[in-house]
A and B are shown apart, each in its own frame.
Chain A
Amino acid sequence: MKDKYHILYTLSGLFLVASFFSSCKHQEHEYHSITDKIEAESKNYQGTSISSEDFIGDIKTLEISEGAHTFLIPERKSQIKSYACTECHSKSLAQMQNGNEAKKAHWDLRLNHADANTMNCVTCHDGSSMDNLTSLTGNTLGFNHSYQLCAQCHTSQFDDWKGGAHGKKIASWAPPRASMTCVNCHNPHNPGFKSRWPARFNTQTEKERR
């Protein structure tokens, strides 16, 4: 009889030790944390059948490569109403300023972007060739790549945008990645977001909490 109990005690003791080591592994708790899970499960990531191409629709895009990132951004030139600028601006800025018959154009544009010491029109626009933009060092940049202008000063935003932490994607989360470029959200002449009233107010919640 004593032996029987002895065996029982030993067994239950062993069992206790065993259960101590084999901690409860829930199906859904196979990983210690979600970051572990993401890391493990994305190791053999095969890609999905879903593509963003169906959702980009009529938006014309172009592919850009910046650092380690390659993605699509909307094409810009076809979206500017009166492009090419040289259709009106046949003379360079210097010539226009010399002439007396110069007409005042773009009077509705007021630059509200940095201060007058930092920026004026020709900081970005190429005075000698109106169809293009110009970098701080005088290199010619096309309107399609205007983000390169912004990146000259806004370096941290540029890094975030390249990675995907700043800005919006077009329509879809799926690859290939298509992101909006700077001027799709920011007016380059007045880039800040304006304060305004919220889109809605919940009168029911207000009533309930009174």
Chain B
Amino acid sequence: MGDSTKKWFSLNLGNSNTKPSGSCGCGNPSGGCGSHNSENADVNAIGEERHKDGFEQVFDVKMDRRSAFKKLTASLMVGAGAVTTSCSVIVGEETKEKAQIDWEEQFKGNYKLMSDEEKNGTVDRLVRSYQLRTGKTISLSSKNAEEDVLFGYAFNISKCQGYMDCVTACVEENNQDRSSQMEYIRIHEMKDGKGFNFNEADDNYYHEVPAEGHFYMGTQCFHCDNPPCVEVCPVQATWREDDGLVVVDYDWCVGCRYCMAACPYDGRRFNWSTPEVPEEEVNKNQHYLGNRMRKKGVVEKCTFCVQRSRAGKNPACVEACPTGARIFGNLLDPDSTIRWVLENKKVFRLKEDLGTEPKFWYFMD
């Protein structure tokens, strides 16, 4: 149908080429819906099948002049630093190496697109960089998701006493910023008989616990199977791994905090300042997607302690809980305790009606 036959006035908003009709109920011709992916090979967004290296991922995307200049300037700064140090005869070998690392880190790609080799490369660079800066050696893992594993969590509301040992263990394990006292876990003190009323609950109490007439309910990132935070990320710096963990690439995050707005559970935290952890308190057993040191202006959250859980250990909160209110395990293992809980206790999740499918269940004795 040409424009001449049109009986109504339509506003030209600049998209002159009309959308080709989609082949699917979602109406979206590409990208947004998974059923197109086989036909559409030439999609620009990061995360599509064609492999792009870091440089392409930085520059081979549509951007306006301002952000293009910003990126170029940032890269040029690093480049200039690298050039001056490498050409200079005065600076030591270490400074040159540091500049080299900075250069390569600047142009590395999105972690989720990296091959195992590239993952090891960036991990080695980050370990070396930490060594050069602090003189200390960390162990940084890039372990991938294990086959046949889907992590799930259950929280026993009748057992939690509100001791907050989990919160302390979490902060120590995950190297959260000490100055802003960032905490992934919140324990909500709720009045008996008022239901799950988060508006009236107190998540920063300080008195002898358990308080008379109250119960305690912990929240953290629920690692939704249909995570809204992942959907809204404009740069695909956060995604769901095959073992169900929703993770963040801190080096790819631009700090827009869309994910924080999208999360219905207040699961994400933002680094308003450069995170500080006293050197002697740094947990040196780290994972790229987990508790490695973050920088200013990136979002972070609970990763079910990916550095521990992928190795086979329980997350720090589970280990620290003195009451056994926290249960963690493999949802795909029919003999696991988490499966027994799901099949034999009366479990529920928060805001189930949103369809986010959190993998974090609550139950009572």
- B329 CB within 8 Å of chain A: yes
- A63 CB within 8 Å of chain B: no
**Most interface-central of B162, B311, B328, B357 (chain A CB within 10 A):** B357
Contact B25 A22 (CB under 8 A): yes
- The complex places the Cα of A171 from the Cα of B323 at a distance, in Å, of 15
Which A residues between 35 and 82 are near B, CB-CB below 8 angstroms? 35, 37-38, 41-42, 45-52, 54-55
Which residues on the A side are within 8 Å of B225 (C-beta)?
A: 28, 34, 37
Q: Choose one: B24, B206, B333; the contact of A42 (CB below 8 Å).
A: B333
- A2 CB within 8 Å of chain B: no
Contact A38 B333 (CB under 8 A): no
Assuming the contacts A41-B332, A165-B344, A201-B206, asked whether A29 and B226 have C-beta atoms less than 8 A apart, the reply is yes
Which residues on the B side are within 8 Å of A41 (C-beta)?
A: 150, 332
Contact A199 B168 (CB under 8 A): yes
Contact B312 A46 (CB under 8 A): no
- Give the number of chain A interface residues (Cβ < 8 Å): 62
- A169 CB within 8 Å of chain B: yes
- The segment from B7-15, B31-39, B95-103, B193-201 found at the interface with A is B31-39
Contact B365 A160 (CB under 8 A): yes
Which residues on the B side are within 8 Å of A156 (C-beta)?
A: 365
- The complex places the Cα of A168 from the Cα of B337 at a distance, in Å, of 10
Assuming the contacts A164-B340, A199-B163, asked whether A49 and B146 have C-beta atoms less than 8 A apart, the reply is yes
- The complex places the Cα of A16 from the Cα of B147 at a distance, in Å, of 40
Closest to A8 in B: B1
Assuming the contacts A46-B148, A52-B312, A55-B313, asked whether A15 and B21 have C-beta atoms less than 8 A apart, the reply is yes
Q: How large is the interface on B (under 10, 10 to 19, 20 to 34, 35 or more residues)?
A: 35 or more
Contact A28 B148 (CB under 8 A): no
Contact B312 A198 (CB under 8 A): no
- A20 CB within 8 Å of chain B: yes
Contact A198 B337 (CB under 8 A): no
Q: Choose one: A51, A173, A197; the contact of B336 (CB below 8 Å).
A: A173
Contact A171 B314 (CB under 8 A): yes
Contact B312 A165 (CB under 8 A): no
- B127 CB within 8 Å of chain A: no
- A98 CB within 8 Å of chain B: no
Which residues on the B side are within 8 Å of A22 (C-beta)?
A: 24-25, 35
- A204 CB within 8 Å of chain B: yes
Contact A28 B34 (CB under 8 A): yes
Interface of B is mostly: loop
Which B residues between 26 and 49 are near A, CB-CB below 8 angstroms? 26, 33-35, 37
- The complex places the Cα of A12 from the Cα of B150 at a distance, in Å, of 42
- The complex places the Cα of A195 from the Cα of B357 at a distance, in Å, of 35
- A202 CB within 8 Å of chain B: yes
**Most interface-central of A50, A175, A209 (chain B CB within 10 A):** A50
Q: Choose one: A163, A196, A201; the contact of B340 (CB below 8 Å).
A: A163
Which residues on the B side are within 8 Å of A119 (C-beta)?
A: none
Contact B34 A26 (CB under 8 A): yes
Which residues on the A side are within 8 Å of B35 (C-beta)?
A: 22, 24-26
Which residues on the B side are within 8 Å of A200 (C-beta)?
A: 164, 167-168
Contact A45 B332 (CB under 8 A): yes
Assuming the contacts A27-B37, A165-B337, asked whether A38 and B312 have C-beta atoms less than 8 A apart, the reply is no
- A23 CB within 8 Å of chain B: yes
Contact B204 A193 (CB under 8 A): no
Q: Choose one: B26, B210, B345, B365; the contact of A195 (CB below 8 Å).
A: B210
Which B residues between 296 and 320 are near A, CB-CB below 8 angstroms? 309, 311-314, 318-319
**Most interface-central of A157, A198, A205 (chain B CB within 10 A):** A198
- The complex places the Cα of A55 from the Cα of B318 at a distance, in Å, of 15
Contact A175 B34 (CB under 8 A): no
- A19 CB within 8 Å of chain B: yes
Contact B148 A45 (CB under 8 A): yes
Closest to A206 in B: B204
- B144 CB within 8 Å of chain A: no
- A172 CB within 8 Å of chain B: yes
**Most interface-central of A54, A156, A193 (chain B CB within 10 A):** A193
Contact B314 A50 (CB under 8 A): no
Q: How far is the CB of A35 from chain B (nearest CB, A)?
A: 8
Assuming the contacts A49-B146, A52-B312, asked whether A165 and B156 have C-beta atoms less than 8 A apart, the reply is yes
Name the 3 nearest CB pairs between A and B, nearest first. A164-B337, A27-B34, A24-B26
List 28 A–B pairs whose Cβ atoms lie within 8 Å, in order of A's numbering. Answer: A22-B25, A25-B35, A26-B33, A27-B34, A28-B226, A35-B342, A37-B150, A38-B342, A42-B334, A47-B148, A48-B149, A50-B146, A55-B312, A163-B337, A163-B340, A164-B327, A165-B340, A165-B344, A167-B324, A168-B321, A173-B328, A185-B323, A185-B324, A193-B161, A193-B323, A196-B163, A198-B206, A204-B181
16 additional contacts, CB 8 Å, given A12-B21, A209-B204? A23-B25, A26-B34, A38-B332, A38-B339, A38-B342, A47-B148, A48-B333, A51-B312, A52-B312, A166-B365, A173-B314, A174-B312, A177-B335, A193-B322, A195-B208, A196-B209
